[in-house]
């Protein structure tokens, strides 16, 4: 049996997923993408997980889709590969808990698309981001033309996708692709600390706020406001909402029950 391509370790309330094929710079082959779908399913079924951190072993986060595997694909197989990649990115995106990409090195092509499927990105000062597919005569195939554009806007996403050149971590932060930069040896701990902080908040509230933002991001603003209003009403029926406000008024820490 093939060794696991993704390690899934618990750090308190945080699931730490590590892409673990460093000899191939964690490039995303079918087996990795299928494993990501399975691991997201396991995490989604485990209520004790309150946040996910995704990182890479070695000097890459992920250097793209696996070029060696893609080279042999006939058009219909390439379509199936792209669909598999989309399912993998969507299963990460659909998790109800916050997901943080801790980008430790190269995040190129499918690797950058994978980072963009997380809720936000922290990066090492050594990270590099790019969509170099045009250098290979390809275009992005795992959502790079859509998620990146929503994150950094059309001008930068066009420069990245059409120009094909990578950018450094400081530039990635400046254009809003990366939220925060850390020294390489502090990156994963910082992302886990952010997950730990989320674990102290109301779990239903965090999940509901994430869902509202995801479901309304492409909606007309009036529809987005309506989705928020309905969700605000629903969350007001939760025990956690009463507990959170009671705890504030009684000057104590809340004890949330996810109900
Ligand atoms: N795939 C397969 N192997 C890769 C790889 C990749 N993306 N990136 C690196 N490797 C492998 C190298 O072949 C090498 O293997 P060995 O020769 O040791 O066996 C090993 O990792 C170390 O890489 P290097 O020797 O090249 O290391 P360097 O430090 O010299 O260079 C690098 C690092 C990241 C600059 C370089 O490896 C590089 O340029 N890598 C390729 C980056 C890239 O072009 N990424 C985009 C991939 S394309 C679609 C579906 C999906 C996609 C598109 C369409 N459809 C179905 C339509 C997605 C496309 C992509 O992501």
> Are the CB atoms for 50 and 95 separated by under 8 Å?
no
Model confidence band, residue 38 (pLDDT cutoffs 50, 70, 90) = very high
Cβ of 227 below 6 Å from ligand 1: no
> Are the CB atoms for 169 and 126 separated by under 8 Å?
yes
Cβ of 67 below 6 Å from ligand 1: yes
Known catalytic residue at 93 = no
Domain 203-249 listed as CATH 1.10.12: yes
Name the strands in the sheet holding 14-19, side by side, starting at the edge strand that comes first in the sequence: 6-11, 14-19, 51-56, 99-103, 120-124, 180-182
DSSP 65: B
Per-residue pLDDT of 150-195, as tens digits, reads 999 999 999 999 999 999 999 999 999 999 999 999 999 999 999 9
Instruction: Kindly tell me if the per-residue pLDDT of 115 is higher than 90.
Output: yes
pLDDT at site 2: 67
Exposed e or buried b per residue across 169-207, where buried means at least 16 C-beta atoms within 10 angstroms of its C-beta: beebbebebbeebbeeeebbebbbebbeebbebbbbbbb
Known catalytic residue at 133 = yes
Instruction: Kindly tell me if the per-residue pLDDT of 1 is higher than 70.
Output: no
Q: Rounded CA gap, 164 and 203, in Å?
A: 40
> Which listed residue (9, 57, 69, 113) is catalytic?
113
Model confidence band, residue 7 (pLDDT cutoffs 50, 70, 90) = very high
> Are the CB atoms for 183 and 124 separated by under 8 Å?
yes
Domain 6-199 listed as CATH 3.90.226.10: yes
Q: Whole-model pTM above 0.95?
A: yes
Domain residue ranges in the chain: 6-199, 203-249
């Amino acid at each position: 049996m093939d060794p696991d391509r993704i390690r899934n370790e618990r750090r308190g309330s945080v699931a730490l997923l590590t892409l673990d094929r460093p000899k191939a710079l964690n490039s995303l082959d079918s087996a990795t993408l299928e494993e990501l779908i399975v691991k997201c399913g396991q995490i989604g079924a485990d209520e004790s997980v309150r946040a996910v951190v995704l990182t890479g072993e070695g000097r890459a986060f992920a250097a793209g889709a696996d070029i060696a595997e893609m080279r042999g694909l006939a058009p219909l197989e390439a379509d199936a590969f792209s669909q598999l990649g989309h399912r993998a990115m969507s299963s990460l995106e659909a998790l109800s808990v916050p997901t943080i990409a801790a980008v430790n090195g190269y995040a190129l092509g499918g690797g950058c698309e994978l980072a963009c499927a997380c809720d936000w990105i922290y990066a090492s000062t050594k990270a590099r981001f790019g969509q170099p597919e045009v250098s290979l005569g390809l275009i992005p195939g795992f959502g790079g033309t859509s998620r990146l554009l929503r994150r950094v806007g059309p001008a930068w996403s066009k420069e990245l996708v059409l120009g094909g050149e990578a950018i450094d971590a400081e530039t990635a932060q400046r254009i809003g692709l990366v939220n925060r930069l850390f020294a390489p040896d502090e990156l994963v701990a910082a992302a886990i600390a952010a997950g730990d902080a989320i674990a102290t908040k109301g779990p239903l509230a965090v999940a509901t706020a994430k869902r509202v933002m995801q479901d309304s991001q492409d909606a007309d603003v009036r529809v987005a406001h309506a989705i928020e209003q309905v969700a605000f009403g629903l969350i007001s029926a939760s025990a956690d909402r009463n507990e959170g406000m009671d705890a504030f008024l009684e000057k104590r820490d809340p004890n949330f029950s996810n109900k």
